[in-house]
Amino acid sequence: EKHASEAKVGETYTRDFLLTFKEQNVDIPPDFEVRPDIAELLSNPQAAFARL
C-alpha cells in the first residue's frame, strides 16, 4: 500500500488515506461499552443500547 509506510518510523497514514475508510466503518466496534455516563455523546443512543 502506497500510503501506509512500514519503515522504522512506524505506521503512518495520510489524512486522505484514512478518510477512505470512513464510509465503510459505520458500526460501533463490538467491544464498545455503552454506558449511561457517555450516552449523551452518542448520535443514536437508543440504537446503541438496543444492541446490548
Partner 1 sequence: MANTEEAELEEGEIPRAPKHRLERAWTFWYDNYTAKSKQKTWGSSLRPVYTFSTVEDFWGIYNNVIQPSQLAHGADFHCFKAGIEPKWEDPICARGGKWSITSPRGKSMTDTLWLYTVLAMIGEQFTESDEICGVVVSIRTRLEKLALWTKTASNEGAQMSIGKQWKDLLDYHEKIGFIAHEDAKRDDKAAKNKYNA
Least distance in Å: CB of 2 to partner 1?
A: 13
Dist. CA 25–CA 18, nearest whole Å: 11
Query: How deeply is 34 buried, as exposed, middle or buried, from its count of CB atoms within 10 A (0-12, 13-18, 19+)?
Result: middle
**Binding site residues, partner 1, CB under 8 A:** 4, 9-15, 17-19, 21-22, 24-29, 32-33, 37-38, 40-44, 48
Least distance in Å: CB of 42 to partner 1?
A: 6
Return the number of the residue (29 or 52) whose C-beta is nearest partner 1.
29
